[in-house]
Structure 1
Amino acid sequence: MRVKEQIIILKIFIAISIPFIAVIIAQLCTNTSYTEISKLSFENEHNPLRLHIIGDFGELHPNTTYNSTLPVKLVAHLMDHRAKVYPISFIISLGDNFYPNLSSVFDPMAHTIMNEIFDLESIKIKPWYLILGNHDYQVDPYDQIEMNKLYAMWNLPDYYYNKTLKIDNGFFVSFIFLDGVVLEGSASERKTKHYEWLEKILEDQAQDPTIKWKFVVNHMAFFSSSTGHADSEPLKQELFPLLYKYKIDIYFAGHSHVMSHFVTEYSSVEPNYTALGKGNYDCSFSTYTPYGTSTNYNKGFAMHEVVQGCGGGDLNLMCTNKTTSMANLIFNSATYGYSELYISSQMVQVSYFNIFNSEPIYSFEIWGN
Structure 2
Amino acid sequence: MARHALSVLLFTLPVLLCSPSFGGPVAESVNGSCVRFLVVGDWGGVPNAPFVTPVEWATAREMGRTAEQLGADFVLALGDNFYYRGVRSVDDPRFQETFENVYTAKSLNIPWYVVAGNHDHAGNVRAQIQYSKMSRRWNFPYYYYELNFRIPHTTATLQVLMLDTVLLCGNTDDFQDGKPNGPASSALANRQLVWLQDRLHRSTADFLLVAGHYPVWSVSKHGPTDCLLRKLHPLLVKYKATAYLCGHDHNLQYFKESGVGYVVSGAGNFIDPDMRHRNSVPRDSLKFFTGKSSTLGGFVHMEVTEKKLTVTFIQARGTSLYRSVLLKRSL
TM-score (norm: length of structure 1):
0.72
Unmatched segments (≥5 aa) in structure 1 = 1-37, 266-301
**What's 1:152 paired with?**
136
Q: Give the one of 157, 160, 164 matched to 1:175.
A: 160
Q: Give the one of 58, 61, 69 matched to 2:44.
A: 58
Contact 1:129 1:154 in 2 (8 A): yes
**What's 1:219 paired with?**
213
**Aligned counterparts, 1:248-267, within 5 A:** 248-265=241-258
Give the distance between the partners of 2:82 and 2:157, measured in 1 at CA.
32
Cα 1:40/1:152, change in 2 over 3 Å: farther
What's the CA shift string for 1:45-74, capped at 9, x where partnerless? Answer: 973111111000012369xx9xx9621111
Which residue type is aligned with residue 157 of structure 1?
A: P
Contact 1:58 1:313 in 2 (8 A): no
Which residue type is aligned with residue 247 of structure 2?
A: G
**What's 2:65 paired with?**
81
Answer yes or no: is 1:310 the counterpart of 2:267: yes
Cα 1:96/1:191, change in 2 over 3 Å: same
**What's 1:238 paired with?**
231
**Aligned counterparts, 1:35-54, within 5 A:** 41-44=26-29, 47-54=33-40
Local SS of the residue matching 2:310 = strand
Give the distance between the partners of 1:105 and 1:93, measured in 2 at CA.
18
Count how many residue pairs are aligned between Structure 1 and Structure 2. 285
For residue 192 of structure 1, report the CA deviation from its aligned partner: 1.1
**What's 2:150 paired with?**
166
Identity, % of aligned pairs?
Answer: 26
**What's 2:303 paired with?**
342
TM-score (norm: length of structure 2):
0.80
Give the distance between the partners of 2:168 and 2:33, measured in 1 at CA.
34
Cα 1:359/1:91, change in 2 over 3 Å: same
Local SS of the residue matching 2:39 = strand
Cα 1:262/1:332, change in 2 over 3 Å: same
* Mean Cα deviation higher: 46-55 or 134-143: 46-55
What's the CA shift string for 1:143-169, capped at 9, x where partnerless? Answer: 110111111110000000001110141
For residue 309 of structure 1, report the CA deviation from its aligned partner: 0.4
More helix by share: 1
Bigger Rg over Cα: 1
Which residue type is aligned with residue 243 of structure 1?
A: L
**What's 1:121 paired with?**
106
Local SS of the residue matching 2:135 = coil
Q: Give the one of 91, 107, 118 matched to 1:134.
A: 118
**Aligned counterparts, 1:319-330, within 5 A:** 319=276, 321-325=278-282, 328-330=285-287
Unmatched segments (≥5 aa) in structure 2 = 1-22, 171-181
Give the distance between the partners of 1:41 and 1:133, measured in 2 at CA.
26
Which residue type is aligned with residue 324 of structure 1?
A: V
